[in-house]
Amino acid sequence: MLLSRETDRRQFGLRLSGEGRGVRIDGTARLNQGDGLVEQEFTVDASWSHEGRHGVAVSAWQQSWDGESGTGVDGRAWLSPLPVLQLFAEGGVGDRPVPYVPLRPTGTVLDSLLMRLETQDPGPRFTHQETLRAGAEVAWRGLFLRGSFVRTEADSVWPTSMPFDRGGAALPQPTRTGWEAEARLPLWPDGLALQGSVHMWDPADSIPYLYMPEHGYHASLSFHNTYLPTGNFELWVDLGAQGRPEMTVPLAFDAVATPTGTPELAVVPFYQNWFFRLQMRIVSVNIFATIENLTLRSLNQDVPGSLLPRTRSLYGVRWPLWN
């Protein structure tokens, strides 16, 4: 694939770090060049912990694009009143820019000139977001349980949330609340476990949630163990499924078809994917294989009319040399 200078992307960065007496501070500055990238990013992270049992972490950031900036703050706090129990709360608030990629001139030289004159880039667009998650987790002898309450709010959602979505209309979204749960149950023999996670959203009162099905799940029977006194042979095996019920999504915006400026909504059907994964490590050589959609389900899709492959396999060898 050949890339022109107009599609090149570069990044220049600087990081400073310091720590002492349980406190760590990191500062990062990045300057980006290229379409669809934030021009300037500045982040300051600070964290404190006491013997790993309780602590707090805060991150402040700023992203600038075409002379406009968005700022935000994220934070997390945790407390372990018992060795097997941890309470936690995390959240964030801020304005993040939505990336866009300018249209590229195509065709003849005249067509390119006309497109440059007629096309106006939409410029940076910012979405205000707020999130909150609070819950507890228990870990004991390989058993792991976690549950949390989730609240998320965004003043707008873009039809595809993709860098190439440059002209899409912003859609308002209500505040969403729900619950998350995750568990791991150790089995026999050693290394075998049943694990899974599920998230559930409260029903919408007015307009439907976009890209937010009522629930989603991921479950698998997994095995992981290390063999030989030297630990030079390691094995991972996973057999599981992930899925969701039907989901509401917006169709691509078309000003002619929708003169009101509001994209039409569509519903994609129930999704389910059974998968198998195998990985073996011999010293530093990793051999892996993954097979998706074992049941050959033909209607899996996240975008209306764009069907996912009936099955897909990925396999190969990874061999790191000299670290």
In a domain, 175, yes or no: yes
Q: The dihedral of CA 280, 193, 238, 212: what is its sign? A: negative
**Same domain, residue pair 16 and 150:** no
Read off φ and ψ for residue 102, nearest 5 degrees. Answer: -60, 150
Structural domain total, the chain = 2
User: 103 burial class (0-12, 13-18, 19+ CB within 10 angstroms)?
Assistant: middle
**Same domain, residue pair 115 and 238:** no
Sorting pLDDT into bands at 50, 70 and 90, what band is 37?
A: confident
Reported as a single tens digit per residue, the pLDDT across 230-266 is: 999 999 999 999 999 999 887 765 544 444 556 678 8
In a domain, 294, yes or no: yes
**Same domain, residue pair 56 and 182:** no
Average pLDDT rounded to a whole number, residues 132-137: 98
**Same domain, residue pair 56 and 160:** no
In a domain, 155, yes or no: yes
**Same domain, residue pair 278 and 311:** yes
**Same domain, residue pair 107 and 169:** no
**Same domain, residue pair 119 and 185:** no
Percent of the chain at pLDDT exceeding 70: 79
**Same domain, residue pair 104 and 176:** no
**Same domain, residue pair 77 and 215:** no
Nearest CA to 273 out of 290, 296, 289 is that of 296
**Same domain, residue pair 81 and 161:** no
In a domain, 234, yes or no: yes
CB 72 within 8 A of CB 92: yes
In a domain, 233, yes or no: yes
Rg of the chain in Å (alpha carbons) = 24
CA 148, chain centre distance (Å)? 18
In a domain, 180, yes or no: yes
In a domain, 245, yes or no: yes
Q: How far apart, in whole angstroms, are the C-alpha atoms of residue 187 and residue 220?
A: 13
Structural domain that includes position 217: 141-323
User: 275 burial class (0-12, 13-18, 19+ CB within 10 angstroms)?
Assistant: middle
Reported as a single tens digit per residue, the pLDDT across 263-322 is: 678 899 999 999 999 999 999 999 999 999 999 999 999 888 889 999 999 999 999 887
Residue entry with tokens 């490590």: 281
